[in-house]
Chains A and B, each alone.
Chain A
Amino acid sequence: MKTRLKILSRGIIDVSPLMIPVFPFGIIYGVIGMELGLGSYMTLGASIIMFAGASQIVLLQLFSGGASPLVMLSSVGAVNSRHLLYGAVLSEHLSTLRLTWKIILSYVMVDQAFAVSNTYFKNNRNNKNKHYHLLGAGFTCWTIWQISTIIGIVMGSIIPDELGLSFTISLTFLALLINDFRKFKNIIVMLVSGIIATIGYNIIPFKAYIIVAALAALIVAALLTVTDSEKK
């Protein structure tokens, strides 16, 4: 019992530094939810039900642009597709767990928790309680996300519209890409995505510009990876 608690707190401690940028992100989400007229219950409800910052903001943005439900949901799916990668990477460590555990851990498997727990799992391969690390890291993220959403909701009803806070959507996503700025291939992929989305915004029907741009950019990414391995 003691070791489980120890591993759980290890997860909490390991993920804590990564919570610093999550906090303002949650506040921004809450503020924008209120600015777009979602109301406090729905803004917080989405944080609890989805628990996925980027997807929640995409949903809001497409909603305010008048996209159809099908486009909104497929865009959410596209943004979430990176979780397939996380699940595949973690599966070998979690495959022996009971279904309840798999459900709970899936719910909290966000970017930050994945990052720290994946490292922990690799270094503690034979520890049979290692999944407590992901539980601790995941629920730390969950708690911070809900608290920051609530703060954003409160602030959103006070902050004046003139401050142009919807611009922070672009800035927040831009900030999440800072590690890609130094990689040439990633810059190409980013430019393909951004340019197609901007041109396609009016041309592509049903506001499906995010999915179309993302798929085109992923194809370019795939081509870049293929040519890369051929060189070797």
Chain B
Amino acid sequence: MHWSLIIYAGIITFVTRFSMIFFLKKDILGDKAKKVLSFVPAAIFPAIIFPPIFLDDTGTVDLESNPKILAAIFAIVVGYFSKNIIATIFAGLISYWFLIFFYF
């Protein structure tokens, strides 16, 4: 990693935050555009979440000897019922440790 990369990433981050505040006087995004933009986390985060869970070190899909899938499912169940971010992370992490130490 090079510092210049972090600086560019910082500039991009700033521009996405600043541009609309700078150029718009009023809120001009239509309801439809807003609705689609509200899906951005749901559209992007799974692309970050899925590959490290389902793929092994060689990059092939591993569905059998994979404690991460079970731990992720457990985290989803806890998240669904508790609606608590910290509980979700720890449920996944602790069940993952439990699985790798005792079963896998």
Give residues in A with beta carbon < 8 Å to B. 20-21, 24, 28, 38, 42, 45-46, 49-52, 54-55, 57-59, 61, 63, 69, 72-73, 76-92, 94-95, 102-103, 105-107, 109, 163-164, 166-182, 185-186, 189-198, 201-202, 209-210, 213-215, 217-218, 220-222, 225-226, 229
Contacts of B36 in A (CB 8 A): 218, 221-222, 225
Closest residue on chain B to residue A222 by CB atoms: B36
**Chain A interface secondary structure, helix, strand, loop or mixed?**
helix
CB-defined contacts of B8 to chain A, threshold 8 Å? 69, 73
- Whether A84 and B19, one on each chain, are in contact in the complex, defined by CB atoms closer than 8 angstroms, is yes
Residues of chain A contacted by B47 (CB below 8 angstroms): 193-194, 196-197, 209-210, 213-214, 217
The 8 closest A-B pairs by CB, nearest first: A87-B20, A194-B46, A194-B50, A217-B43, A221-B39, A197-B47, A49-B10, A213-B47
Interface size class for chain B? Answer: 35 or more
Residues of B within 8 A of A225 (CB): 32, 35-36, 39
A173/B49 contact (C-beta < 8 A), A80-B16, A87-B18, A164-B100 known: yes
Instruction: Kindly identify which residue among A79, A89, A171, A217 contacts B88, using a CB–CB cutoff of 8 Å.
Output: A171
Q: State A90–B26 Cα separation when bound (angstroms).
A: 9
Question: How far in angstroms is the closest Cβ of chain B from A51?
Answer: 7
- A63, A88, A196 — most chain B CB neighbours (10 Å): A88
Contact A198 B51 (CB under 8 A): yes
Given the interface pairs A167-B68, A194-B50, A221-B42, the reply to whether A55 lies near B97 with Cβ below 8 Å is no
Query: In this complex, what residue of B is CB-closest to A22?
Result: B85
The answer to whether B29 and A175 have CB atoms under 8 Å apart is no
* Complex Cα–Cα for A171 and B67 (A): 13
Which residues from chain B sit less than 8 Å from chain A, CB to CB?
Answer: 1, 3, 5-10, 12-14, 16-29, 32, 34-55, 59, 61, 68, 71-72, 75-76, 79-80, 83-86, 88-89, 92-93, 96-97, 100
**Which residue on B lies nearest to A39, using beta carbons?**
B1
Q: Are A91 and B88 in contact (CB under 8 A)?
A: no
B52 x A166 contact (CB < 8 A): yes
Q: A210-B44, A218-B39 are known contacts; what are 14 more A-B pairs with Cβ within 8 Å?
A: A55-B13, A79-B44, A80-B12, A86-B17, A88-B27, A88-B29, A95-B21, A174-B75, A175-B89, A178-B83, A180-B42, A186-B39, A195-B50, A196-B47
Taking the closest CB of chain A, its distance from the CB of B41, in whole angstroms, is 6
Kindly state the separation between the CA atoms of A49 and B14 in the bound complex, as whole angstroms. 9
- With A83-B16, A106-B18, A193-B42 known as contacts, the answer to whether A88 contacts B28 (CB < 8 A) is yes
Partner of A102, one of B9, B22, B44, B88: B22
Residues on the A chain within 8 Å of B3, using CB: 42, 45
